[in-house]
Amino acid sequence: MGRFIVDGGAHLKGEVKINGAKNAALAIIPATLLSKKPCVISNLPNISDVDLSFQILKTMGAKIEKQDEHSVMIDTSTVHKTEVPFELAMKMRASYYYLGALLARFKEANVAMPGGCNFGVRPINLHLKGFESLGANYEIDGGIIRLRTTNLTGAKIYFDVVSVGATINILLAATTADGVTIIENAAKEPHIVDLANFLNSIGANIIGAGTNIIKIKGVKELNSSDYTIIPDQIEAGSYMAMAAVTRGDVLIKDVTPKHLESIVNKMESIGLKIKKYDSSLHILSDGDLEKADVTSQAYPGFPTDMQPQITAVLTFAKGTSIVTEGIWDNRFQYVGELCRMGAAITVDGKVAVVEGGKILKAAPVEACDLRAGAALIVAALGAKGQTEIKNTRYIERGYEDIVGKLTALGASIKKV
Ligand code: EPZ
């Protein structure tokens, strides 16, 4: 098991280049199944979740050729299987996007029930309700979701909870259904728009992505495409958090500022000076950090995937902050690790009270999931002493070359 060793106290200074968005990549890679023509996808991040999604496609018979460090050619014309192997599906929740993609292409799909994770039960009832509305039947047999249909037919689908995954899965399945599908109360995240743009680039007919009503007119034939995915707003936000606690002076490059508005707004309210350019942000953290109250919510609200990182920042801010988790039941598991470093945070259900102004001290800590791991790196960079962070594999799921990028910014971090 890999460990990061971080010596706190360095002021981050310089430039960092943001890679493509993990959650856009994890939706667009399965979406290439809808076309029998080769697609080139660029600006893909080199992270383990993307590698896993490539592995799933290859196991089903797809051809994937690296074009350069961040782009691949994917040809799914040779795909002949409709089953995602259990041992691969279990490694990543987002493997359930293969349900919608395989159903759209082959009218059947077999994917293992996604594992839960440590921030609470993660149901997929909305996904299954959506597939049934389109005319598919499902059964769960030995932990595998088996979807079948004779014909996918457009339908009006209302999600009573805003769900990124369910919106993505129904976007995929409805793309080749007969007739029109309307998704109401759809998720509006940037990666939903990116998926819709990719699908339209291969010939789909989708309008309204990014609003809460998406209309999909089914098409039968899909073509090839050369598509570049959006930058990762959560990776960008994570580096903003790292600059915040190290009195940093950092240019964060290759971002889409519009996708970062809620994060920029919150970081400015705690005292960061942020200059916005067309595709980059300059972050200056040259004074004491102020307390702030944060509630994570669906886009365009403050993203839940930045909740652990902002909580780590707030342990350094003066005063008491309240962090409310608006999406997941139990996304404060990492707080115990921050407290081991001297943070004073009490959690009651979906609310964490952060007593700021603490000088965190190094301690051996463990990452329990991807964004919790990022929060521990934030804390370690601002803490005194040498912190050891276990389970680097979680962090490597979503952050390309985090050691190289932080070292280039002047941090002292190494993997052992
Ligand atoms: C996606 O998860 C992301 N994962 C998550 O990021 C992110 O936290 C989440 O969206 C919210 O933005 C990927 O994109 C791969 P949801 P997803 O369906 O789709 C409830 C990361 O670190 N719900 O939007 O699983 C659910 O319980 C990960 O990249 C149902 O009730 O999230 C939750 O309370 C962590 N029934 C709420 O909806 C369903 O059928 C939002 O979940 C589906 C969801």
Please state, in angstroms and rounded to a whole number, the distance separating the CA atoms of residues 310 and 296: 10
Closest-lying ligand 1 atom to the alpha carbon of residue 122:
27
pTM of the shown model? 0.97
- In the reported structure, the alpha carbon of residue 350 is separated from the centroid of ligand 1 by a whole-number distance in angstroms of 16
Q: How far is the CA of 188 from the centre of ligand 1 (A)?
A: 12
Range(s) of the chain covered by CATH 3.65.10.10: 3-19+231-415, 22-228
Clarify whether 39 is annotated catalytic: no
Best probe residue, ligand 1, of 113, 238, 327 (max atoms within 8 Å of C-beta) = 327
What CATH superfamily classification does 22-228 receive? Enolpyruvate transferase domain (3.65.10.10)
* Residue from 370, 375, 366, 388 nearest 48 by CA: 370
pLDDT of residue 121: 74
Ligand 1 neighbours by CB, cut-off 6 Å: 22-23, 26, 94, 122-127, 161, 163-166, 187, 304-305, 327-328, 370-371
Task: Give residue 269's pLDDT band: very low, low, confident or very high (50, 70, 90).
Answer: very high
- Residue 208 backbone class (left: φ over 0; alpha: ψ -120 to 50; beta: rest): left
Residue 247 Cα to ligand 1 midpoint, Å, equals 33
Closest CA to 310 of 288, 295, 330, 300: 295
Locate 305 and state its tokens.
Answer: 């995937």
Contacts of 255 (CB under 8 A, 6+ apart): 18, 231, 233, 236, 279, 280, 281
Residue 117's pLDDT is what? 61
Residue minimizing CA distance to atom 7 of ligand 1 = 305
Q: What pLDDT is stored for residue 115 in this prediction? A: 64
Work out the angle between the directed axes of helices 125-133 and 164-174 (0-180°, nearest 10). 20
Task: Give me the pLDDT at residue 120, please.
Answer: 73
Atom of ligand 1 nearest to the CA of 26: 15
Cα 165 to ligand 1 centre (Å): 6
Nearest Cα residue to atom 35 of ligand 1: 305
The CATH number of domain 3-19+231-415 is 3.65.10.10: yes
pLDDT band for position 280 (cuts 50, 70, 90): very high
Query: Does residue 51 surpass a pLDDT of 80?
Result: yes
Q: How far is the CA of 413 from the centre of ligand 1 (A)?
A: 31
Please identify, by atom number, the ligand 1 atom nearest to the C-alpha of residue 114: 25
Q: Is the peptide bond before 300 cis (omega within 30 degrees of 0)?
A: yes
**298-343 residue pLDDT tens:** 999 999 999 999 999 999 999 999 999 999 999 999 999 999 999 9
